[in-house]
Each structure stands twice: as structure tokens, then as C-alpha cells.
């Protein structure tokens, strides 16, 4: 017997839904890879500055390891009139090495560019998962539990990646600016708790967002497998 028009139409709609799911899943994987790469690069930039491989400019706040605080140390004569101190270098701490061509200005520009890419790509990732959720819902393909959780996790990632501190709010985003890092550096070793807070801010927060993205990616993988199992493809 020939298939009924209704079943044929249903099969065509399902095929269209599967093709749409394939498109959104492919772009989702691309956005996920770009996000991980940008996050890795920002963390490398942090360690380059934190380990003084790339020398950050000295802060000008007195009393926090600044040149103003150490210029008149007791027992040391003041600098003669007309003699100027050497400005803080912004070049690499290891000239001639692998990082010899880097300096703080270049790293700062790279971090600012990466911050913009992170926020934009995170929004695109959440949007691709959302459209996949809609197609799966309309096409009744299944796996809604997994894709819904993945969408919520991606939304949380977007919220955490936005640099809220730049908007004057008391909430810190995962993304940081080089000037912000320079302001945090003097208090890094002031006390044990300051050290803990410093690394939680620039490394722990970063690790949390990476884990969040990995969980979202794992959920979308389960979603794809659930669709295939429901359609008895595997």
C-alpha cells in the first residue's frame, strides 16, 4: 500500500526539522569552540601579566607599592635635583625569549578585543541553542529536557560574561580589563585573603564559566543522542 498523504507530509516535516537541527547544532559547536579559545587566550594573558612575563605599568596610588611610597624610604637620600627616575617599562620581562615581542599595550588591546568577541559569541551560542529548542519543540523530536537545560546554562554564561563592573555596578563579570588587573595587582600579596580573592576573581571565576559551558555542551550532546534514539536511527 502507498503511504497516506498525511504520513508523507509528516515525514517531510520531520526531515526539515532534522536539517534545521543539524544547522543549529553545527553553528553551536563553532560558537562553543570560539568561546573556549577566547577564554583560554584571556587566561594566558592574565598569567603573562601576573607572572610579570609582560610587565604591567606601576600604579600611582601611594602606600600600595607605588613609586611614590618607596621614593622617600628612610635611610636613603632623595634623588638629586634634575635627576628623573626611569619610567616603568611596559615591555616583556624576558627580552629575546618566546615572549620578547610582547608588551603590555599589545596584550591590553588583545584582551579588549577578546572581551568583545566573548560577549557576542556567547549571545550567539545561546541563540543557536534556543532556536534548536524551538525546532525540537515544534517538530516533536524529543530531548527537550536536555536542550532546555543547555539553554538555561548558556543564558547564565551570557550574564556572567558581561563586564557589569564597567557599567558602574557592584557585580563583577568574568571578563576583565587590563586596567582593572593593574589595580588589583598591588593588593595581591597584601594578605592571605587578598591573595585568595585575587585568584578567585581572575582564575576561579574563569574556571567556573568554562565548567558552565562544558556542561551546556554536554547537555546538547545528550539532546542530539536523544533525538536519534527516538527516531530509531541508532
Q: Where are the domains of the chain?
A: 12-66+91-230
Q: Dihedral (C-alpha) 146, 147, 152, 153: value to the nearest 10 degrees?
A: 70
pLDDT at residue 115 in the model: 95
| Grid cell of 142 as nine digits | 524529543
Handedness of CA 111, 113, 119, 125 (dihedral sign): negative
- Residue 15 class from Cβ within 10 Å (0-12 exposed, 13-18 middle, 19+ buried)? exposed
**CB under 8 A, 24+ apart: contacts of 116-121:** 117/34, 117/38, 118/35, 118/38, 118/39, 118/42, 118/161, 118/174, 118/175, 119/158, 119/161, 119/162, 119/163, 119/175, 121/31, 121/34, 121/35, 121/38
Q: How far apart are CA 203 and CA 180, in angstroms?
A: 14
pLDDT at residue 1 in the model: 44
| Grid cell of 217 as nine digits | 555542551
Nearest C-alpha neighbor of 51 from the set 43, 59, 39, 61: 43
Low-confidence residues of the chain, pLDDT below 70?
Answer: 1-13, 59-101, 232-234
Amino acid at each position: 500500500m502507498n503511504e497516506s498523504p498525511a504520513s508523507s507530509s509528516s515525514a517531510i516535516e520531520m526531515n526539515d526539522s532534522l536539517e534545521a537541527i543539524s544547522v543549529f547544532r553545527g553553528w553551536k559547536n563553532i560558537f562553543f569552540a570560539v568561546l573556549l579559545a577566547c577564554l583560554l587566550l584571556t587566561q594566558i594573558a592574565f598569567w603573562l601579566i601576573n607572572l610579570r612575563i609582560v610587565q604591567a605599568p606601576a600604579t600611582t596610588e601611594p602606600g600600595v607599592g607605588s613609586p611614590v611610597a618607596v621614593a622617600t624610604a628612610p635611610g636613603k637620600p632623595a634623588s638629586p635635583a634634575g635627576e628623573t627616575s626611569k619610567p616603568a617599562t611596559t615591555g616583556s620581562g624576558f627580552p629575546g625569549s618566546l615572549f620578547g615581542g610582547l608588551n603590555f599595550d599589545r596584550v591590553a588591546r588583545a584582551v579588549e578585543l577578546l572581551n568583545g568577541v566573548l560577549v557576542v559569541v556567547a549571545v550567539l551560542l545561546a541563540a543557536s541553542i534556543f532556536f534548536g529548542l524551538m525546532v525540537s519543540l515544534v517538530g516533536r523530536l524529543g530531548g527537550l529536557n536536555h536542550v532546555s537545560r543547555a539553554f538555561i546554562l548558556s543564558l547564565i554564561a551570557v550574564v556572567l560574561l558581561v563586564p557589569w563592573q564597567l557599567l558602574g555596578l557592584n557585580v563583577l563579570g568574568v571578563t576583565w580589563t587590563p586596567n582593572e588587573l593593574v589595580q588589583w595587582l598591588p593588593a595581591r600579596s597584601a594578605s592571605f585573603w587578598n591573595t585568595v580573592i585575587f585568584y578567585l576573581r581572575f582564575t576561579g571565576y574563569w574556571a567556573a564559566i568554562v565548567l558552565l559551558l562544558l556542561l551546556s555542551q554536554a547537555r546538547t550532546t545528550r539532546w542530539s543522542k536523544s533525538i536519534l534514539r527516538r527516531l530509531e536511527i541508532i
